[in-house]
A and B are shown apart, each in its own frame.
Chain A
Amino acid sequence: MKTVAEDFDAGAPERPAGPGPGRRVPGLAGAAAKAARRTMFWRMVARSVTRRRSRVLIAVLAVGIGATTLFALASIAADIPRQMTREMRAYGANLLVMPEDGTSKVSAAALGPVAEALGSAEVIGSVPYRYETLRLNEQPYLSAGADLVQVRQVSPYWYVEGDWPAAPGEVLIGQDIAEWIGLGPGDEIELVAAVENPAASPSAADSGDPGAAASGDDDLANGDDGVADSGDASAAASDDDGADEVLAEEATGLFRVAGVLSTGGSEDELILMSLDDIEQLTGLAGRYDVVEYSVAADSGRIEALAEQITAEVEGVSAAPVKRLTESDTYVLSMLRSLLALITVIVLALTMIGVSTTMMAVVAERQGEIALRKALGADNRAVEREFLSESLALGGLGGVIGTALGYALAQVISLNVFHRPVAMTWWLALVAVGLSTLVAWAAALALVRRAAEVDPAIVLRGE
């Protein structure tokens, strides 16, 4: 026991003898002193956050749950325009021209009369589509050929991972196909088409030789030369003297996947390429399955035009397509407003939750605050410490909550829209910032009041 007192004496050579005027610190206002104070400040904040885990967890949770809901809702709201694909599908087209009966095609020759029938109506654009069933990995897939530049224009909300095809031989594949086969942008694929030979077909039916088509011609079916093969195939077929047994050929084309298309609609199971490519592969040009027209006219006029075309132009029938109407747009903007409203409500609820949590946290530390004041802290110093702590908790909760919110938005989007939601970074920043702000604001009044505590209660104890 003596030793303690001796230690105390021995270790205090710098202690002023006699009644001390207080601790002397050189360069009190110096930069070093400031830095030391700042370091201690953050050390206290960090200790409070890291050593009071269960309390911190509750506070972070309160903020985090708010941030999760907030960011999930806001992400989806921000992403709605892109998610509207299904509804926006036919945005550009409001009139479809199809073959009169289900089996035949619309010939290029019929398009002239259609244009004539449309007459004075202002045709903004038309996109002919050619549908074929092509085989990929021995599986048949519906494939479409069209003017991709126009398709892209009328489908601004289609989501393409990778690029739109820019060169011949490039295709888009639907997301579902990409998933089934395990394909992605840049992959090479081999598409096999049945090559029709109108001249040979009747005799092929006569010959009744089922083996011929299947045996095909190995030389011709190899896809090394890419799309161009198809031309060779039909040429070879017609050149062949023993034409009777070459009933239908197969043409193979080598293509490159430029991008993966996901629309949430039937396009997800489609292979999409340029009209030229599909015509070259199948060796048949100028015959379409559907021609989409975009006509500047109201729906009544479009209906009349459709009837007129069906009646006047031989071999085709026309039908109006409902555009996304104004009321639909209204519903969607209502939906967004609703989400915004819910977001505000969630913010308010978060605020209440965080306030309540902070109230408990501050109440629990009333004694500590009084002690700090007894040690000489003024109210502002106490406020600064506790508000900084709230900011730290809010930021932490915000970051965790936003990450979880992204996951939640992803789950919702995949289930509802069948496609991923995009990460909106500015929104994430806003979410983290708002969470921090909410935590700060919730703590502000509480900390102000708590800092008013009378330091005299420390000596009185509890």
Chain B
Amino acid sequence: MTRLLELESVSKVYGELRALDGISLAVPRGEWLSVVGPSGSGKTTLMNIVGAMDRASSGSVLLDGVELSDLGAKELAQIRRNTVGLIFQKFHLIGHLTAVENVMVAQYYHSMPDEAEAMAALGRVGLEQRAGHLPSQLSGGEQQRVCIARALINYPALILADEPTGNLDAANEEIVLDIFRSLHADGATLIVVTHDPAVAAEGQREIALEHGRMVREVFHDHG
């Protein structure tokens, strides 16, 4: 299996605090990786660095063959729009744009907006009936599905989800996991941060962070 992502002793330092402390990690293409750990252990910091939104203080980050620590702001933005799909705990939809328009924003920055394609993406998360609604008119679960449709619209090589089910009830959590399973089955690479052991167990591999260090690695066998 080729490696999509390779971290080599990556550290992130905030003053005295070592939010990440010498993380080395390789993620093969098509893997579903779960990241767990107590609050403040550095999970989000790791996602930001992997997702080209932040730079490591030291170490090397190789994403899809590109060394991120060498890149400037503009090139990082390019990596973000071409390689990474983001799913947030708090959805982060743009309030004055409808569901379909929110999906089209990602198309717009990536290449070209295509409303039909965006509608199809909403259809895939079961929201074609809600395409014209504003985020404020959608439930939390529906907003998360719009967020997922937006993350997937450009077929990113890497999908990053930070607590994607943190704000959802059990039923919506199951819907989201279902989508992830189908993505995984199609060969997508997923890194999912979660506090929920059940969600973590969905991944093929689970790593645990503590004080910025990897303290545990578990492989789940899904038959």
Does A8 contact B113, Cβ atoms closer than 8 Å? no
Interface residues on A, range: 35 or more
Chain A residues positioned under 8 Å from B4 (CB to CB): 19
- Give the distance in Å from the alpha carbon of A47 to the alpha carbon of B112 in the complex: 18
| Residues in A whose Cβ lies below 8 Å from that of B187 | 17-20
Is B179's CB within 8 Å of the partner chain A?
yes
Q: Is A238 an interface residue (CB 8 A)?
A: no
Task: Verify if B105 is at the interface (C-beta below 8 Å from A).
Answer: yes
- Kindly list 5 other residue pairs between chains A and B, CB separation below 8 angstroms, not including A7-B124, A32-B112, A376-B82: A1-B171, A12-B120, A15-B186, A19-B30, A19-B187
Question: A370–B174 Cα gap in the complex (Å)?
Answer: 29
Would you call A40 an interface residue if the criterion is a C-beta within 8 Å of the partner chain's C-beta atoms? Answer: yes
A461 at the interface (CB under 8 A from B): yes
B199 touches A (CB below 8 Å) = no
Q: In the complex, what residue of chain B is closest to A53 when comparing beta carbons? A: B96
Chain A residues within 8 Å of B156, by CB: 20, 22
Known: A39-B113, A372-B109. A2 touches B178 (CB 8 A): yes
**B78 close to A376 (CB less than 8 A):** yes
Among A4, A11, A454, the one with the most B-chain Cβ atoms within 10 Å of its Cβ is A4
Chain B min CB distance to A243 (Å): 93
Interface residues of A in 321-379 (CB under 8 A from B): 367-368, 371-379
Per the bound structure, the CA–CA distance linking A12 and B187 in Å amounts to 13
* Minimal Cβ-Cβ distance residue in A for B185: A9
| Smallest CB separation, A371 vs chain B (Å) | 5
On chain A, the residues within 8 Å of B179 by CB distance are: 4-5, 8
B94 A368 Cβ-Cβ under 8 A:
yes
**Which among A8, A28, A36, A374 is the interface contact of B80 at CB below 8 angstroms?**
A374
Which residues of chain A have C-beta atoms less than 8 A from B185's C-beta?
9
Judging by beta carbons under 8 Å apart, are B189 and A375 in contact? no
> Contact partner of A47 among B101, B154, B186, CB < 8 A?
B101
Check if A454 sits within 8 Å of B54, measured CB to CB: yes
List CB contacts (< 8 Å) of A1-54 with chain B.
1-9, 11-12, 15-25, 28, 32-34, 36-37, 39-41, 43-44, 47-48, 51-52
Of B97, B174, B182, which one neighbours A9 at CB under 8 angstroms? Answer: B182
When the two chains form the complex, which single residue of A20, A34, A52, A459 contacts B53, counting CB atoms closer than 8 Å?
A: A459
Count of residues in B whose CB is under 8 Å from the partner chain:
65
**A→B interface (CB under 8 Å):** 1-9, 11-12, 15-25, 28, 32-34, 36-37, 39-41, 43-44, 47-48, 51-52, 367-368, 371-379, 381, 454-456, 458-461
Say how far A89's CB is from chain B's closest CB, in angstroms.
59
A40–B104 touching, CB < 8 Å: yes
**Pick from B125, B157, B186: contact of A4, CB under 8 Å:** B125
A-B contact pairs, 15 of them (CB 8 A): A5-B181, A7-B123, A7-B126, A12-B120, A12-B124, A18-B29, A18-B186, A36-B114, A40-B108, A40-B113, A372-B109, A373-B77, A375-B109, A376-B109, A459-B86
**Contact between B120 and A5 (Cβ–Cβ < 8 Å)?**
no
A-chain residues with CB within 8 Å of residue B77 when the two chains form the complex: 373, 376-378
B101 to chain A, nearest CB (A): 7
Nearest chain A residue, comparing its CB with the CB of B54 = A456
- Whether B80 pairs with A15 at a CB distance below 8 angstroms is no
Contact across chains for B104 and A19 when beta carbons are under 8 A apart:
no
**What does the 1/0 interface line of B84-104 toward A look like (CB < 8 Å)?**
001011101011110001001
Q: Is the CB of A376 within 8 A of B110?
A: yes
Least Cβ–Cβ distance between B15 and chain A, in angstroms = 16
Q: How far is the CA of A46 from the CA of B150 in the complex (A)?
A: 21
A22 to B189, CA, bound (A): 12
With both chains docked as a complex, state the minimum distance between the C-beta of A39 and any C-beta of chain B, in angstroms. 7
In the bound complex, residues from chain A placing their C-beta under 8 Å from that of B124 are: 7-8, 11-12
Measured in the bound complex, the distance between the Cα atoms of B114 and A6 in whole Å is 23
| Contact partners of A16 in chain B: CB under 8 A | 155
Measured CA separation A12–B90 after assembly (Å): 26
Determine if A375 and B106 form an interchain contact, defined as CB atoms under 8 angstroms apart: yes
Taking a contact as CB atoms closer than 8 A, the residue among A5, A7, A40, A375 that contacts B81 in the complex is A375
Complexed CA–CA distance, A393 and B216 (Å) = 54
A20 contacts B157, CB within 8 Å?
A: yes
* Residue among A1, A4, A20, A375 with the highest chain B CB neighbour number at 10 A: A375
Which chain B positions have C-beta within 8 A of A368? 94-95
B207 is an interface residue with CB less than 8 A from chain A: no
Which residues of B from 120 to 145 have beta carbons under 8 Å from A? 120-121, 123-126, 134
Which of chain A's residues have a CB closer than 8 A to the CB of B113? 36-37, 39-40
Asked whether A456 and B86 contact (CB < 8 A) given A18-B29, A18-B187, the answer is: no
Q: Indicate which residue in B74, B92, B112 contacts A33 across the interface (CB closer than 8 Å).
A: B112
When C-beta atoms are compared, the residue in chain A nearest to B123 turns out to be: A11
Which of B81, B109, B179, B187 has most A Cβ within 10 Å? Answer: B109
- Could you say which residues of chain A place their CB within 8 Å of the CB of B150? 375
4 cross-chain pairs, A with B, having the tightest CB-CB distances, nearest first: A376-B81, A18-B187, A51-B96, A19-B29
